[in-house]
Structure formats: structure tokens, C-alpha cells
Amino acid sequence: MVNPAMVVHGISVDAETRCAHYHSALDVIAIKMKCCGQYYACKECHDALAGHASAVWPRDEWEQPVVLCGVCGAELSVRAYLDCGNECPQCGAKFNPGCRKHYHLYFAMGDEGQS
């Protein structure tokens, strides 16, 4: 379970970071938004609550911890998240492989990098 001191913003966020938009058993990550440095359950939650436009993480910042495992609280860099095979390297929790379709909303994706 995520450290209670770690705030994850969103709409109807549960203890493992699921929200009103994404709430399957595998929807257990939150992403620190580049624009404000706050963890949100998803971009839709950010857009509804933040009051400002979102921004993507540029490649030269992909080593910073910006992805939060909602099961154990581990923070992953963008690179570690993209390379983890949809499984938390710390606790083994399964992540939703469908999130791949949304990488470009959070991370500056190019031809390479879609591990």
C-alpha cells in the first residue's frame, strides 16, 4: 500500500491509486505530472482538477522517479517503468499493459523508447 504521506490526486482515488477513470485490478500506478510535480491517478484526473495544462516528461529527465506503484509505493523512473514488462520490479504487482496506449500523454515518445 502507498505511504499515506504520499498524496495521489484524482477523482475517487483508492488506496492503490485507482480512480474514477481507470479502476481495474491492474490500474495501480500514479504518475507525477511534469507540469506541477504532483502525483495524479491519471491525466483525466489531472485535467479535471489541476487548473492548468499538462506537460510530458522530456527524454533527458527519464531517470527521475515519477511513476508510483500503488501497491507497494515504489517510485520508478520513466525508463524503469517503460522497461519493467508491466510488473513492479519491487513487489511484482501487475500493471495494466493497456497503459502503453497513453505513454505519449505523459512521456516524450519518439520512434524509440516504447520498450
Alpha carbons within 13 angstroms on the beta-carbon side of residue 11 total 12
26 lies in some domain: yes
Q: Assess if residue 33 is contained within a domain.
A: yes
Judge whether 111 lies within some domain: no
**Would you say how long the chain is, in residues?**
115
Domain of residue 20 covers 8-106
Encode pLDDT of 2-27 as tens digits: 665 679 999 999 999 999 999 999 99
Domain count, the chain: 1
DSSP structural state of residue 112: S
Please check whether residue 114 lies inside any domain of the structure.
Answer: no
What does the pLDDT look like over 60-70, one tens digit per residue? 999 999 999 99
**pTM summary value:** 0.90
What distance, in Å, lies between the first and last C-alpha atoms of the chain?
A: 27
pLDDT attached to residue 5: 63
Is residue 112 in a domain? no
Looking up cell 533527458 gives 60
Asked whether residue 113 is domain-assigned, the answer is no
